[in-house]
Amino acid sequence: MLGAGAGRVVCTGQGIVDVVMRIPAVPEAGGDVFASRHELAAGGGVNMMAAAARDGARVVYVGGHGTGPFGDLVRAALEAEGVEPLLAPDASGDTGFCIALVDDTTERTFISTSGVEARTSLEDLRMVDLRPGDVVSVSGYSFVHDVKGAALTRWLPEIPTACTVVVDPSPVIGDLGDDAVSALLERADVWTTNDREARILLARREQGEACPRAGESDGTADALVALAVRLVGAIDRTVILRAGSAGAVLAEPGGSVTVLPPMRVRAVDSNGAGDAHTGVLCAQLAAGADLGAAAERAGVAAALAVTREGPATSPTAAEIDTALSRHRGARVGPTPQ
């Protein structure tokens, strides 16, 4: 259910630690490269939760967190953002981490491990008391983990229809089992994806047709609309297609399509942009905003995030307000004299 309002953002993703390294380029196999800068910070699902909290949402984390140094780092970050962990610390191990390589083009490459966050059970998920208006955020990355993926597959059908489910499939959508993909699609209210992930899913849904059709690969607004409409036709769900500097497209079953022009910025680090978008989108839906307004605001938040180095770079609500006003003004243009 969309636009109920007065709800919380319930995150079922993974709060982990990011080891971020800035490098000129990813080396070839057997090669070597030195990072010009590095950072150790809470990341993964923490970035999305921070984005939602900074935009004013009450955020609940339904995921595991360990008792070692990485778990401590995640808990400290959640506390700083006002996020409420539902589960107690898991004494059986530590939280996992991800090495994020950010090159000079701002592209990022991930190498991930897993920890106790990968072992969230069905009983853990059922501990959250879902309420009308809550927005449940689900990541495709969760289904890479056998225990948590199986738990989510069983839990998703139990989510009340009075809650909105926002699915960010992630690049792993092409590797997930059929049961996982079916569970995600059957309960998703909003499918928010970048263009690469959209093509991966289309290749899977359309019997292996891996290449985009004519007119869907040139990055223009018309091409993005064509790709979004094609994805809606394949999955029969509301789609937000994100394409970075090319903007985004909101397409719904029944033919409604809205093009969301990009806010022009100088990107320095694309790491965390998708998390900023998803977090602000969920925060706005939980506050009762309509989907178009929520997606527009999320796009501005993502644009601001890429102007800052590091993973958890989502702006505050006040920063988004200011940038959104300027963005709308730039689109309208000056008043004729």
Does the residue 337 lie in any domain? no
> Using an 8 Å Cβ cutoff, are 207 and 170 in contact?
no
Q: Which amino acid is at 111?
A: I
Does the residue 59 lie in any domain? yes
> Using an 8 Å Cβ cutoff, are 278 and 11 in contact?
no
Reply yes or no on whether the pLDDT at 222 is more than 80. yes
Does the residue 89 lie in any domain? yes
Reply yes or no on whether the pLDDT at 211 is more than 70. no
Range of the domain at 164: 9-24+35-328
> Using an 8 Å Cβ cutoff, are 295 and 239 in contact?
no
The pLDDT assigned to 206 comes to 80
Does the residue 20 lie in any domain? yes
Does the residue 29 lie in any domain? no
What are the E-state strand segments in the chain?
9-11, 15-22, 37-44, 59-61, 84-85, 97-102, 108-112, 135-139, 164-168, 190-194, 238-242, 248-251, 257-260
The pLDDT assigned to 262 comes to 85
Pair of tokens at residue 290: 């309509």
Query: What confidence tier does 214 reach under pLDDT thresholds 50, 70, 90?
Result: very low
Does the residue 2 lie in any domain? no
Predicted TM-score (pTM) of the model is: 0.89
Does the residue 72 lie in any domain? yes
Query: What confidence tier does 220 reach under pLDDT thresholds 50, 70, 90?
Result: confident
pLDDT (tens digit, 9 = 90+) per residue, 262-282? 888 887 767 678 999 999 999
Does the residue 333 lie in any domain? no
The pLDDT assigned to 260 comes to 93
Number of domains observed in the structure of the chain = 1
Query: What confidence tier does 218 reach under pLDDT thresholds 50, 70, 90?
Result: low
In CATH, what number is assigned to the domain containing residue 52? 3.40.1190.20
